[in-house]
Amino acid sequence: MAVTTTKKASELSQFKSFDPYVEKEGEEYMNPAQLEHFKQILLAWKRQLMEEVDRTVGHMKDDATNFPDPNDRATQEEEFSLELRTRDRERKLIKKIDEGLKAIEEDDYGYCESCGIEIGIRRLEARPTATMCIDCKTLEEIRERQTV
């Protein structure tokens, strides 16, 4: 199980293997070159997640065995359950990626949905699906903690 977790962590970190955007002096925020940069990041990330879904389906078909030992069956069911929960989280992430791609098409990408200011190139490279600037996101998290 540890090998699988390590393998998945390294696969998911591969999406981050892009060249950071180098801003030119006086360059307009979210110009066509920047939008294309983030579009490519989002598309690569989505492609990687979709490949992982395909691998999961194949793995579950190939490894589905009716073990006679109840402990072996329970272990297999727990592994499948964990894998399906992970895929469900990734499905939600794919939805956010699609929303980001749509925002790029509509020229809304890179601006805070709460206050409208620029989210920032580096923040978007760290989290390409970010929809809020760091200040608004921090305030939202503080409010969430207070209501719990």
* Confidence at residue 16, expressed as pLDDT on a 0 to 100 scale: 58
pLDDT band per the 50, 70, 90 thresholds, residue 10: very low
The mean pLDDT value for 48-56 works out to: 86
Domain coordinates in residue numbering, the chain: 29-108, 110-148
* Confidence at residue 7, expressed as pLDDT on a 0 to 100 scale: 41
How many Å from the N-terminal Cα to the C-terminal Cα in the chain? 34
127: pLDDT strictly greater than 70 = yes
The mean pLDDT value for 82-105 works out to: 93
The C-alpha atoms of residue 131 and residue 134 are separated, in whole angstroms, by 10
pTM of the model: 0.77
* Confidence at residue 70, expressed as pLDDT on a 0 to 100 scale: 82
Helical residues (DSSP H) of the chain, grouped into ranges: 2-13, 32-63, 70-105, 121-126, 134-147
* Confidence at residue 9, expressed as pLDDT on a 0 to 100 scale: 42
Select from 3.40.50.261, 3.40.50.300, 1.20.200.10, 1.20.120.910 the CATH code of 29-108.
Answer: 1.20.120.910
In the block, residue with structure tokens 């979210």: 30
pLDDT band per the 50, 70, 90 thresholds, residue 67: confident
